């Protein structure tokens, strides 16, 4: 038994080194989350209570008694509610057509529906103005006087903008289904309408609720479209910008930020609570659906899906075309003159955006994958805390986060003040703005790696960090790449969070688009948008080519294996 | 004692998985943990591996206290049911992994990997990835990987359960052969009594977090400690109020069929309920004095149709006393 003493001492030492590794990883994840999410939020909350007479509710009292402010809140909610209703109904029909009918070109239609994700948010508004604006092709050609500016303009632009988000959620909900339920209903004599009402709708209710809240959050926090097409119709997101950037009224911006934070946060919390029960809906004993072609239904579905795709593609296409003509819609001669970019810094912001987006991709991958791995090894309660912190940004509108960054980092007392005005803070802001989505991709793919690998690796003598480096990270490598692409694309097109953080030296492409549009230079705004979309398209093309290449190499390996194995 | 377990207790959320289990294992022994699902056999194996932390335990290995030594320091090889090969590494890299972790001299690793591959007859598969191998091949690589680092103890967690019946039988023999050749102390968890009887020097029969009996396969079959063991290893007829015993058991193949000649004093008459032909044997279920009795006869029997009256004898030497054991 004398040997027990050194053995125990050695054991304790090594046990600690593994625990230390997990603790260090968790700290490396949690500290930045606190610094770059929690601290800016607290800064906004605090400022909203600061008045000339000390701490109090005076700012809120003043805003909520102002008829103008009440009007803006009402505007925001009417736009958000109307858009949500329209988008979810349209997207449900579209997802149904693609998932539950045998119509042709389902993959193509699905790809077209995602187009708005890869364009700066205000491109939708820009395209609609080229079509229906005062100097749009419709009004000019038919000498009409359609007034699209204001409520309906914002609603239409935001329907396009939020459509892909709703479509993705509803498509996932409609993709799974239990064939046994439909077969039982058919044997009991139910018709298609009754089956839809009693089986399809109830089984996709989580998806519908989720889509409603996601679209509502996106729309009420959207900034680009109301700026371009809203005219005098003010909403909360544009009002923050006007108060802060226009009039330097930080504390009023903070109050509006908090007001905007509440519905967004409530929507996210409800969405998470409701979708928690979703996983049990389909059991492993369910039989997958088989879609039987039905001529009439498939034809109707195809017509509907084509119309939706046509509308989505038209809005993007018209921006594309307008950027290449002399003066839309008066002189349709081809010209490259809009690509001269006589705006502050010219084309430089495009390259700045690329640099910032690459930084965001790198930082975003490290941050979210590290968080997902830390959550794997933490105790359940600690992992839940990490989950909360990681998905918290989903509830924070970009405008609010951006304002929080000014308050927190443009402050001499902050040791990180040196970050302010750098490209790094723009990248970091984008990472934490989209942290929740990146984290969910990471944690899903890390969660799919069987625990048996960890245990095997441990028994073979590996420490936690070696297991991570040699086993887990290589297995989730494809997901890591797609997380990087996600952060790159979001950073290229986002406007809301970074609008407060750019300086003349760190101007971003999406901001240039807004400035060009603001100065009445819609054609150049279109040209700049096209440049952004081309870079996004190039990044996505590169990613898919890479994915195909690795898939093919994998197939060749297994093919060789099968050949020599036989 | 080589590996000594004392008072191992483990509960999961208030449910007792192991209830004060004690066991000694000798060097070079092949021991099987056998029992129904939920009996605690896998938990016990995981505690020995260091993957699960017991609530209370005294585990000693070659005299050292093992209880607080983490899994990575124990140098115990382990093979799981399936899918435990690292999919991102070739077969050779999988086998080398543990050697690298345990800081083997770099120049020794390729030779050791080649030797292990030869040991499991997969020398030509070194550069394949796991998904290119069959299930049986994958488990042989997992075995080679677990043995490469010269582990003190080899732990097998139902390593054959996910395989086809045919492959399972082949590999069962291979595992036993390998263990005997290397002389490595081995513990295997299984719920398959045939598997346990074929490979184990000793079988530990477990039920509800406790050990019911430990012994050689032949001991467990011929002298089961209680009804649970008797019923789990082979089949048993439980006969009540016979020859004055409150409870006795007899194996189906030990019951004798009395042919032709007139009834003798120790004979009993039964009526055939069912007669099932199973290839090498025929299983007959009959009712004797209101009790159901199963007997197994060699070869095919066409003369025992349901309803047939037959005479059987229960030889005194074949009767086993059975404690009641758990209900």
Element counts in chain B: helices (H) and strands (E): 9, 18
Distance CA A556, CA B101 (A): 31
Domains, chain A, ordered by start: 20-44+343-554 (1.10.3720.10), 66-277+294-335 (1.10.3720.10)
For the record, the structure tokens of A360 come out as 């965001």
What pLDDT is attached to residue B5? Answer: 95
Domains of chain B: 3-228 (3.40.50.300), 235-321 (2.40.50.100)
Chain B contact for A460 (CB, 8 A cutoff): yes
- Cα A176 to the chain's mean position, in Å? 23
- d(CA A420, CA A173) in angstroms, rounded, equals 42
Task: Choose the weakest-confidence range: A218-227, A546-555, B6-15, B303-312.
Answer: A546-555
Query: Is the pLDDT score of B245 beyond 60?
Result: no
Q: How many CB atoms lie within 10 A of CB B25?
A: 23
Question: At B22, is the secondary structure helix, strand, or coil?
Answer: strand
Question: What SS3 class is residue B213?
Answer: strand
Search chain B and give the residue with CA nearest A474.
Answer: B88
Chain B touched by A192 (CB under 8 Å) = no
Q: What is the largest CA-CA distance in chain A?
A: 100
Tokens standing for residue A79: 């736009």
Task: List phi, psi (to 5°) of A260.
Answer: -75, -35
Residue B75 in contact with partner chain A when CB distance is under 8 A:
yes
CB contact under 8 A, B97 and A462: yes
Give the distance from residue A467's alpha carbon to the nearest chain B alpha carbon, in angstroms.
Answer: 10
Q: Out of A450, A460, A475, whose CB is closest to B97?
A: A460
Residue A341, Ramachandran bin (φ over 0: left; ψ between -120 and 50: alpha; else beta): left
State the nearest Cα–Cα gap between B25 and chain A, in angstroms.
18
Rounded to whole angstroms, the Cα distance separating A564 from B14 reads 52
Select from A267, A476, A240 the least CA-distant residue to A370: A476
Residues A430 and A402 sit within 8 Å (Cβ to Cβ) = no
| pTM metric for this prediction | 0.85
CA distance B69 to chain A (A): 5
Q: Are B83 and A12 an interchain contact pair (Cβ–Cβ within 8 Å)?
A: no
* Confidence band, pLDDT 50/70/90 cuts, at residue B291: confident
Helix (H) / strand (E) element for A333: namely strand A331-334
Q: Could B80 and A14 be called an inter-chain contact, meaning their C-beta atoms sit closer than 8 Å?
A: no
Contact A444, A516 (CB under 8 A): no
Contact A526, A130 (CB under 8 A): yes
Please tell me the distance from the alpha carbon of residue B10 to that of residue B57, in angstroms, as a whole number: 9
Of B72, B77, B83, which is closest to A458 when you measure between CB atoms?
B72
* Partner-chain contact A455 B97, CB within 8 Å: no
If you ran DSSP here, which 8-state letter would residue B225 be given? S
Q: Is B75 close to A461, i.e. CB distance below 8 A?
A: yes
* Nearest CB to B72; choose among A452, A463, A477: A463
Mean pLDDT by 10 residues, chain A (566 residues): 36 62 92 94 90 84 89 95 97 95 93 93 92 88 88 96 94 85 86 88 88 91 92 91 87 89 84 67 64 89 96 94 89 87 82 96 96 90 90 89 92 87 94 94 89 92 92 91 94 91 90 90 92 94 87 54 32
Q: Which H helix or E strand runs over B218?
A: helix B217-222
From B77, B79, B69, B125, select the one nearest B102 (Cα to Cα).
B77
Instruction: Identify the pLDDT of residue A395.
Output: 85
Contacts of A286 (CB under 8 A, 6+ apart): A176, A177, A178, A179, A180
List C-alpha distances in Å: B108 to A421, B103, B152.
55, 10, 20
* Nearest Cα to Cα of residue A258 among A414, A49, A539: A49
Are A325 and A140 within 8 A, CB to CB? no
Cα Rg for chain B, rounded, in angstroms? 24
pLDDT at site B327: 43
Higher pLDDT, B122 or A266: B122
Residue A279: other Cβ atoms inside 10 A: 9
Q: Can you give the pLDDT at residue A279?
A: 53
CB B91 within 8 A of CB B133: yes
DSSP states of B275-292: EEE-SSEEEEEEEETTEE
What average pLDDT score do residues B213-242 get? 87
* B68/A15 Cβ within 8 A: yes
| Beta strand ranges found along chain B (DSSP E) | 3-12, 15-25, 30-34, 56-61, 64-65, 76-79, 153-157, 185-190, 202-207, 210-215, 237-242, 245-250, 256-258, 267-277, 281-288, 291-298, 309-313, 320-321
- Would you state the pLDDT for residue A285? 59
Which chain A residue is nearest to residue B93, measuring alpha carbons? A470
Query: Taking CB atoms and an 8 Å limit, are A4 and B128 in contact across chains?
Result: no
Residue in B closest to A473 by C-alpha: B88
Q: Which two tokens stand for residue A259?
A: 């007001």
Question: HSE on the CB side for A220, CA within 13 Å?
Answer: 33
Q: State the Cα angle at A220 between A217 and A222, rounded to 5°.
A: 100
Distance (Å, rounded) from C-alpha A487 to C-alpha A507? 19
* A37 burial type by CB count under 10 A (0-12 exposed, 13-18 middle, 19+ buried): buried
Q: What radius of gyration do chain A's Cα atoms show? A: 26
Angle, CA of B81, B83 and B84, to the nearest 5°: 85
A135/B40 Cα distance (integer angstroms): 78
- Contact yes or no for B184/B107 (Cβ under 8 A): no
A461·B101 Cβ contact <8 A:
yes
SS3 A119: coil
- Judged by CB atoms closer than 8 Å, whether chains meet at B49 and A459 is answered as yes
């Amino acid at each position: 038994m004398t040997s027990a003493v050194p053995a125990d001492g050695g054991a304790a030492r090594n046990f600690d080194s593994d625990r230390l590794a997990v603790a260090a990883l968790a700290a490396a994840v949690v500290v930045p989350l606190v610094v770059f999410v929690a601290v800016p939020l607290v800064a906004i909350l605090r400022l909203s209570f600061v008045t000339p007479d000390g701490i109090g509710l005076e700012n809120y009292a003043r805003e909520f008694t102002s008829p103008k402010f009440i009007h803006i809140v009402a505007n925001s909610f009417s736009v958000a509610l109307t858009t949500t209703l329209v988008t979810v109904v349209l997207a449900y029909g579209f997802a149904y057509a693609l998932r539950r009918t045998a119509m042709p070109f389902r993959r193509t239609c699905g790809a077209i529906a995602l187009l708005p994700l890869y364009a700066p948010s205000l491109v939708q508004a820009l395209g609609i103005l080229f079509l229906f604006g005062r100097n749009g092709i419709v009004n000019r050609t038919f000498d009409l006087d359609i007034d699209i500016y204001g409520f309906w303009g914002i609603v239409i632009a935001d329907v396009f903008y939020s459509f892909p988000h709703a479509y993705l959620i509803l498509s996932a909900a409609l993709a799974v289904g239990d064939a046994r339920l439909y077969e039982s209903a058919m044997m009991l004599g139910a018709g298609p309408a009754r089956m839809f009402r009693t089986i399809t709708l109830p089984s996709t209710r989580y998806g519908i609720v989720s889509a409603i809240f996601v679209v509502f959050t996106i729309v009420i926090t959207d900034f680009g479209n109301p700026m371009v097409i809203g005219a005098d119709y003010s909403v909360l997101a544009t009002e923050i910008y006007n108060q802060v950037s226009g009039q330097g009224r930080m504390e009023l911006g903070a109050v509006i930020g908090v007001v905007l934070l509440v519905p967004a946060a409530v929507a996210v919390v409800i969405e998470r609570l409701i979708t928690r029960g979703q996983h049990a809906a389909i059991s492993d004993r369910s039989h997958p659906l088989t879609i039987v072609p039905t001529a009439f239904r498939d034809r109707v579905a195809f017509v509907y899906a084509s119309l939706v795709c046509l509308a989505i593609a038209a809005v993007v296409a018209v921006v594309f075309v307008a950027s290449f003509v002399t003066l839309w819609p008066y002189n349709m001669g081809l010209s490259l003159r809009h690509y001269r970019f006589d705006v502050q810094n010219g084309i430089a912001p495009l390259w700045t955006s690329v640099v910032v987006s690459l930084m965001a991709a790198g930082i975003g991958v490290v941050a979210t994958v590290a968080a997902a791995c830390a959550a794997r090894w933490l105790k359940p309660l600690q992992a839940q805390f990490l989950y909360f912190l990681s998905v918290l940004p989903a509830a924070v509108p970009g405008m609010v986060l951006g304002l929080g960054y000014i308050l927190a980092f443009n402050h001499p007392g902050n040791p990180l003040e040196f970050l302010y005005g750098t490209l790094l803070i723009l990248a970091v802001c984008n990472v934490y703005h989209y942290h929740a989505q990146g984290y969910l991709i990471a944690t899903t793919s890390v969660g799919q790696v069987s625990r048996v690998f960890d245990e095997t690796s441990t028994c073979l003598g590996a420490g936690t960090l070696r297991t991570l480096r040699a086993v887990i990270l290589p297995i989730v490598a494809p997901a890591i790449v797609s997380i990087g692409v996600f952060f790159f694309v979001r950073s290229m097109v986002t406007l809301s969070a970074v609008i407060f953080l750019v300086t003349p030296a760190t101007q971003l492409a999406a901001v240039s688009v807004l400035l060009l549009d603001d100065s009445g230079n819609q054609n150049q705004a279109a040209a700049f948008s096209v440049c952004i979309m081309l870079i996004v398209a190039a990044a996505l093309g590169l990613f898919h080519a890479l994915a195909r290449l690795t898939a093919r190499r994998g197939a060749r390996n297994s093919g060789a294996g099968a050949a020599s194995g036989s | 004692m080589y590996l000594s377990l004392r008072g191992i207790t483990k509960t999961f959320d208030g449910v007792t998985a192991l209830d004060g289990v004690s066991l000694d294992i000798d060097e070079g022994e092949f021991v099987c943990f056998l029992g129904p699902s939920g009996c605690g056999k896998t938990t016990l194996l995981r505690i020995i591996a260091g993957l699960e932390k017991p609530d209370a335990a005294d585990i000693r290995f070659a005299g050292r206290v093992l209880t607080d030594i983490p899994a990575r320091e124990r140098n115990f090889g382990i093979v799981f049911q399936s899918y435990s090969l690292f999919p991102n590494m070739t077969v050779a890299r999988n086998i080398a992994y543990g050697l690298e972790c345990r800081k083997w001299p770099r120049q020794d690793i390729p030779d050791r990997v080649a030797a292990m591959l030869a040991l499991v007859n997969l020398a030509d598969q070194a550069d394949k990835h796991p998904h290119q191998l069959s299930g049986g091949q994958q488990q042989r690589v997992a075995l080679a990987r677990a043995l490469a680092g010269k582990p003190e103890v080899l732990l097998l967690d139902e390593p054959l359960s996910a395989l086809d019946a045919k492959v399972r039988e082949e590999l069962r023999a291979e595992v036993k052969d390998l263990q005997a050749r290397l002389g490595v102390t081995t513990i295997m968890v299984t719920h398959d009594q045939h598997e346990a009887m074929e490979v184990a020097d000793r079988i530990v029969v477990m039920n509800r977090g406790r050990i019911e009996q430990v012994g050689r396969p032949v001991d467990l079959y011929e002298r089961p400690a209680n009804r649970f063991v008797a019923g789990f290893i082979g089949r048993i007829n439980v006969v009540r109020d016979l020859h004055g015993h409150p409870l006795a058991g007899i194996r189906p193949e030990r019951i004798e069929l009395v042919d032709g000649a007139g009834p003798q004093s120790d004979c009993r008459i039964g009526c055939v309920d069912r007669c099932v032909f199973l290839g090498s044997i025929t299983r007959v279920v009959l009712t004797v004095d209101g009790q159901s009795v199963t007997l197994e006869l060699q070869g095919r029997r066409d003369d025992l149709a349901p309803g047939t009256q037959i005479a059987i004898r229960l030889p005194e030497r074949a009767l086993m006393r059975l404690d009641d054991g758990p209900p």
